[in-house]
């Protein structure tokens, strides 16, 4: 399986991504626990791409690609931004940051996937789920 969706950087387009994940879940018969992990981590990656990567610029695109092979499902989210320094993202579990929203999306992605990879300084995020 290989599916691709390209959206404008508008937060309301997240619903298109939800529809894509729903389609994939049905086609692959993904169980409900895994479905939640796939949906939440993908929405977090896309939201970060729109808000932080592309600075909510509707002229910039976010590309979402879903690739399924024999053993894993990979969701690749790419924005047109310059990326970020992963080491500078605060840990939302630390007492100083527990009340702040920064870093929560990456924290969720790391905890809901089997693996997450950041390429091009984070402008490409690969969410990997073992199947």
Query: 24-53, pLDDT tens digit by residue?
Result: 999 999 998 899 999 999 999 999 999 999
Helical segments of 29-103, H only: 32-48
- β-partners of residue 116 are 127
Taking the C-alpha atoms of residue 17 and residue 19, their distance in angstroms, rounded to an integer, is 5
pLDDT bucket at 128, cuts 50 / 70 / 90: very high
* End-to-end Cα, the chain, rounded Å: 13
Contact by Cβ (8 Å): 128, 118 = no
Taking the C-alpha atoms of residue 44 and residue 42, their distance in angstroms, rounded to an integer, is 5
Contacts by residues 16-22 (CB-CB < 8 Å, ≥ 24 positions apart):
17/42, 17/43, 17/46, 17/64, 18/43, 20/64, 20/66
Taking the C-alpha atoms of residue 84 and residue 50, their distance in angstroms, rounded to an integer, is 14
Element (H, E) at 83: none
Q: Is the pLDDT of residue 20 over 80?
A: yes
Give me the domains of the chain, ranges plus CATH numbers. Answer: 2-130 (3.30.565.10)
pTM score over 0.85: yes
């Amino acid at each position: 399986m290989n599916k691709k969706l390209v959206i404008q950087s508008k937060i309301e387009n997240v619903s298109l991504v939800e529809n894509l994940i729903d389609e994939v879940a049905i086609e692959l018969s993904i169980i409900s626990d895994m479905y939640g992990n796939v949906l939440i981590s993908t929405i977090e990656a896309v939201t970060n791409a729109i808000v932080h990567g592309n600075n909510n610029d509707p002229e910039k695109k976010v590309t979402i690609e879903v690739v399924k092979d024999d053993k894993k499902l990979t969701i690749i989210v790419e924005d047109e931004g310059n990326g970020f320094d992963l080491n500078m993202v605060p840990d939302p579990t630390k007492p100083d940051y527990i009340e702040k929203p920064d870093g929560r999306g990456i924290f969720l992605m790391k905890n809901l996937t089997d693996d997450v990879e950041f390429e091009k300084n984070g402008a490409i995020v690969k969410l990997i789920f073992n199947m």
